[in-house]
Amino acid sequence: RAFHSIYNPELAIEAFALICKRYSNATLVMAGVDKGLEATVKQLAHDLNVYDKVQFPGFFDEKAKRREFSAADIYLNTNNIDNMPVAVIEACAFGLPVIGTDVGGIGSLLNDGVDGLLVPAGDPGRIAAAVSRLVEDPELTGRLSQNGRLLAERSSWESVRTCWENLFREIGFPERSLDTAPISGGSTV
């Protein structure tokens, strides 16, 4: 993601500080480009005495993203607003159980307790409790991981292409080939 207010990176640090009180070996990787908040987030990590447990590697290319997703146990999505976060779909594709704030379209993307855990926005205690829930309940974690992979498969271009073609036909959009990547040019799973 990015160090920008819409992604609320401070919330991740606040929740992580609570998580560290229960799990002293916890670590956090916060990747992304600075959009004005990176220094603030780093200072907050210092202030909450967790800076030595947080990595700030910058932007991940595809290779680095694959490496980090493969090494992680849980994906936190602390957004203030978002509709269809590609990073959540990517995390699901790697089998990571996702904890996301119930904002924007995220509650339509993730079904709480089925393919992710939803928490209220701005509540670090609820995020920490969700992490504890996953750590303490491997059956739930496995189910979210498995169902998250299915969500990612349903979100792949191969799966949604027909929906787009049908929509274009329905609205009378001129025939065109959708054999290439999505029009947005965004990341694919």
Q: Which residues of 79-96 are buried (b: 16+ CB within 10 A; e: fewer)?
A: beebeebebbbbbbbbbb
- The answer to whether the CB of 5 falls within 8 A of the CB of 122 is no
Confidence of residue 126 (pLDDT cuts 50, 70, 90): very high
pLDDT tens digits for range 160-185: 888 888 888 898 887 666 665 554 44
Using DSSP, state whether 98 is helix, strand or coil.
strand
- The answer to whether the CB of 104 falls within 8 A of the CB of 140 is no
Q: What is the pLDDT of residue 75?
A: 98
- The pTM for the full model equals 0.87
Name the pairing type of β-strands 33-34 and 117-119: unpaired
Confidence of residue 187 (pLDDT cuts 50, 70, 90): very low
pLDDT tens digits for range 50-93: 999 999 999 999 999 999 999 999 999 999 999 889 999 999 99
Confidence of residue 158 (pLDDT cuts 50, 70, 90): confident
d(CA 82, CA 85): 6
Strand order in the sheet with 98-101: 75-77, 98-101, 117-119
pLDDT, mean over the chain = 92
- How far does Cα 76 stand from its chain's mean position? 5
- The answer to whether the CB of 115 falls within 8 A of the CB of 150 is yes
